[in-house]
Amino acid sequence: MTVTVRFAPSPTGHIHIGNARTALFNWLYAQQHQGRFILRFDDTDRERSKAAYAEGIAHDLAWLGIRPDDTVSQSARFAKYDAAAEALKAAGLLYACYETPEELERRRKIRLTRRLPPVYGREALKLTDEEKAAFEAEGRKPHWRFLLPNFSETPFDPVRTEMRWEDVVRGPQTVDLASMSDPVLIRADGTYLYTLPSVVDDIDLGVSHVIRGDDHVTNTGAQIVLFEALGAPPPAFGHHNLLTTVSGEGLSKRSGALSIASLREDGIEPMAVASLAVLIGTSENVAAAASMQELADRFAPTATSRSAAKFDPLELAALSRHLIQAMPFAEAAGRLAALGIAGDRAEAFWLAVRGNLDRMDDALDWWRIVTEAPDPEGALSEEDRAFVKEAMLHLPAEPWDAGTWRAWTDAVKAATGRKGRALFMPLRLALTGRGAGPELADLLPLLGREETLARQS
Ligand code: GLU
C-alpha cells in the first residue's frame, strides 16, 4: 500500500509553529515510507477563507522544505459532499433536526440535572412528517445529524460502543460512541462542517494515514463510523500532542505571533523551525537537524509525549544560530548570492564570518565591512591612531594567508612593545570599526594589503 498523507489547514490565517508540527509529522511520515503528501485546503467556509492565506500557507510549507505531491481545495469539491450526504440520508443515517441553539442548551441543562450525559437526545428522530412540515412552514431550516451506531434496540437507549484503533502516535485508543452527540454534518444554512467533507476527501484521495493534532481524537471515533457508512475502510490515524506558549496558552492562527511568516521575517532558519516543531514534546533530544533527511531519520512518532508541549521562541533562536554557524559554504552559497555576496572571496568570507552570525542576513554587515569600509562606530583615541599608523609600517608583503596576521602582529609587538588587548584592539577597530567579530587572521587576507593600508585613519 502506498502511504498517502495530507495536511489540511483552513486558509483563514497564517499557519503557526503548531500547524507546522502537523504538516511536518505528515511530511516526515511520508518521507519515511516513500509516500505521497497532499496539501488540502479546508476552505468550505467561503467567508473566512482567503486565497491570499492559501498562498501564504503554500509558501510557508515550501520555505520549510515541504513539497506537496498534490494540492486540492474543498471549495471545488462540493458536488462530492452533496452526493455523500444524499447517500447517507437515503440510508437513514443523516437526519433533519430543527432545534434552535437555545432549545438545545435548555435540554442539555435538563439532562445534566437528571445526571444524564449531556449529549443530544435524538428528539428529532421522533418528529412526524407533519411536525417537520410545520417547522418548515415557520421558516425553520433543518440542520443534519449523523446517527451514530451506539445502540442496539432503539436509538433512544444508547449503550457503550467502543471504537478502537491503533494510533500511529499514541498507540491503542478507545472512544465510546455513547459518550458523544450525533455530530451535525450540515448546518441550517446548508454549509458543511468539517467532519463529512474531510472523510469524503480522505476516501476519494486515497489517504492511508490521517495524522493530526490530539484535539481530533474524539472526532476520529465518529469519522471511523462515517468511513464505514460510506463503504470505505478507514485509514490509519495518528494524533500528536499540541504546542502551547511558554505560559501554557494554545497557539492561535489569529494571533500572528509565532506564525511561520513572522519567524521567517525574524531571520530564523527553516530547519531550526522544523527541528523544534517536530522534536519538541518527544523523547528525542532537541538538536537542530541540518536537513529534512536528517530530521526524517530522527523522527519517531511513537516517541511523542501525551501532554501538551511548551514552545519557547528563545530555543528557536539558539537552534537557528547553531545551524548558521555550522553551515558549509556549499549550502550557504545560493542564499549569500541572493544577498549580493558572491565572487572569489565569498567562500573564505563565509568561513570567516559564519561563527559570528545570529541570522544569515547579518552576513551583509560583515560583507560591507570587508568590501567597502569599516563601521563608523569604532572611534580610536589619538594615541591608538598613532599606534595603528606605526603598525602599518610593518605590514608584510603579499601574498597573504592565514599566517599573515600572526607575522604582522609579532613584528608590531617587537617594534612597539605593545601586546595583548592594547595591541589587537586598536587594529581590530581600525580594520572593522567593531570591537568584536571574526578572527582577524581570517579577515586580513580578505581585505588584502592595499585595503588594509587604507584603513589607518
Ligand atoms: N481542517 C482541519 C483542522 O485544521 C483538519 C483536521 C484534519 O486533519 O482532519 O483542524
| Residue range(s) defining the domain that contains residue 347 | 329-371
- Is residue 422 a part of any domain in this protein? yes
**CB of 10 sitting under 6 A from ligand 1:** yes
- Is residue 232 a part of any domain in this protein? no
Choose one of 347, 371, 395: the last residue of a domain: 371
Beta bridge partners of 244: 250, 310
- Is residue 303 a part of any domain in this protein? no
C-alpha cell at 426: 586598536
At residue 256, the pLDDT reads 63
Of 194, 226, 251, 254, the one to substitute when testing ligand 1's pocket (max ligand atoms within 8 A of C-beta) is 194
Residues 340, 366, single domain; the answer is yes
Residues 359, 389, single domain; the answer is no
pLDDT along the chain (457 residues), means of 10: 95 94 98 98 94 97 98 98 98 97 94 91 96 96 98 95 97 96 97 97 98 95 97 98 89 75 95 94 84 95 89 91 97 97 97 97 97 87 95 96 97 96 96 96 97 90
At residue 282, the pLDDT reads 80
C-alpha cell at 309: 508541549
CA of 41 to the centre of ligand 1 (A): 9
* Continuous segment of H or E residues that includes residue 96: strand 94-97
Residues 342, 388, single domain; the answer is no
Angle between helices 17-32 and 51-64 (to 10 degrees): 60
At residue 425, the pLDDT reads 96
**CB of 212 sitting under 6 A from ligand 1:** yes
C-alpha cell at 197: 467533507
Of 24, 216, 218, 254, the one to substitute when testing ligand 1's pocket (max ligand atoms within 8 A of C-beta) is 216
- Is residue 243 a part of any domain in this protein? no
Q: At 106, which CATH number?
A: 3.90.800.10
Beta bridge partners of 309: 243
Angle between helices 420-432 and 404-416 (to 10 degrees): 120
**CB of 452 sitting under 6 A from ligand 1:** no
- CA proximity to 119, closest of 160, 77, 78: 160
At residue 446, the pLDDT reads 97
Residues 413, 437, single domain; the answer is yes
Of 167, 212, 224, the one to substitute when testing ligand 1's pocket (max ligand atoms within 8 A of C-beta) is 212
Sign for the pseudo-dihedral over CA of 320, 323, 328, 331: negative
**CB of 198 sitting under 6 A from ligand 1:** yes
The Cα–Cα gap between 429 and 425 comes to 6
Q: How many domains does the chain have?
A: 3
- Is residue 376 a part of any domain in this protein? no
The Cα–Cα gap between 253 and 435 comes to 42
- Is residue 188 a part of any domain in this protein? no
Choose one of 164, 189, 221: the last residue of a domain: 164
User: Left, alpha or beta for 258 (phi > 0: left; psi -120 to 50: alpha)?
Assistant: left
Q: At 386, which CATH number?
A: 1.10.10.350
- Are the C-beta atoms of residues 275 and 298 closer than 8 Å to each other? no
Residues 348, 415, single domain; the answer is no
At residue 352, the pLDDT reads 97
Residues 124, 145, single domain; the answer is yes
Sign for the pseudo-dihedral over CA of 250, 288, 274, 281: negative
- Is residue 173 a part of any domain in this protein? no
Q: How many whole angstroms from its chain centre is CA 445?
A: 41
Report the first-to-last Cα separation within the chain, whole angstroms. 72
At residue 218, the pLDDT reads 92
At residue 254, the pLDDT reads 63
Q: Is 89 annotated as a binding residue?
A: no
The Cα–Cα gap between 51 and 41 comes to 10
Choose one of 142, 164, 186: the last residue of a domain: 164
Residues 343, 419, single domain; the answer is no
Residues 87, 131, single domain; the answer is yes
Residues 404, 342, single domain; the answer is no
The Cα–Cα gap between 409 and 416 comes to 10
The Cα–Cα gap between 315 and 159 comes to 48
Residues 349, 416, single domain; the answer is no
- Is residue 208 a part of any domain in this protein? no
Nearest ligand 1 atom to the CA of 212 is 8
